[in-house]
Amino acid sequence: MPRVALIAHDDEKPVVVSLAREYESVLSTFDLVGTGTTGERITEETGLAVERKESGPIGGDTQIGAEVVEGDIDGIVFLRDPLTAQPHEPDITALLRLCDVHDVPMATTRTSAEYLLDGLADDAGHEG
């Protein structure tokens, strides 16, 4: 079962929730992990089970990065706000570097997230 991390900057949280609703049947067959608030919102608004790490500002993205290093993450959806990200929001740079080093796909927009999820679903034998 694919393990996918879900992270979103504050302004992108509604987008990641919308994506999770649209892909709920596929995501329900994945092992999901998320940063604190993003994971909470997805669980509350979709019913999907999301293992919650700490919130991004206090290290949740770093916890997910450690799973990338260990080979436990198959893909990351990190919907970021490239124009108005706030200082308290997780920084994508370190996580992106780890994904590049360990050849783990990361999607940073809704469209790229759809491709990532469809690809993982295809690899796992699910239809998107």
pLDDT tens digits, one per residue of 60-85: 999 999 999 999 999 999 998 777 75
| pLDDT(87) > 70 | no
Q: What is the CATH number of the domain that holds 95?
A: 3.40.50.1380
Enumerate the known binding-site residues for substrate.
Answer: 9, 13, 35-38, 55-56, 88
Percentage of the chain modeled with pLDDT above 90:
79
Residue with the larger pLDDT of the pair 96 and 83:
96
* 10-51 residue pLDDT tens: 899 999 999 999 999 999 999 999 999 999 999 999 999 999
Return all residues near 3 (Cβ < 8 A) that are at least 6 apart. 30, 31, 32, 33, 67, 72, 73, 74
pLDDT reported for residue 64: 96
Instruction: Say if residues 36 and 55 touch (Cβ distance below 8 Å).
Output: yes
pLDDT reported for residue 97: 95
CA contacts within 13 A on the Cβ side of 4: 27
pLDDT reported for residue 124: 78
**24 backbone dihedrals φ, ψ, rounded to 5°:** -55, -40
* Catalytic residue set: 61
| pLDDT(90) > 80 | no
Return all residues near 70 (Cβ < 8 A) that are at least 6 apart. none
| pLDDT(128) > 70 | no
- CA dist 103 and 68 (Å) reads 9
69 sits in the region (left: phi over 0; alpha: psi -120 to 50; else beta) called: alpha
94-113 average pLDDT score: 96
In the chain, the number of structural domains is 1
The residue range of the domain holding 78 is 3-124
Helix (H), strand (E) at residue 119: helix 110-124
pLDDT reported for residue 89: 60
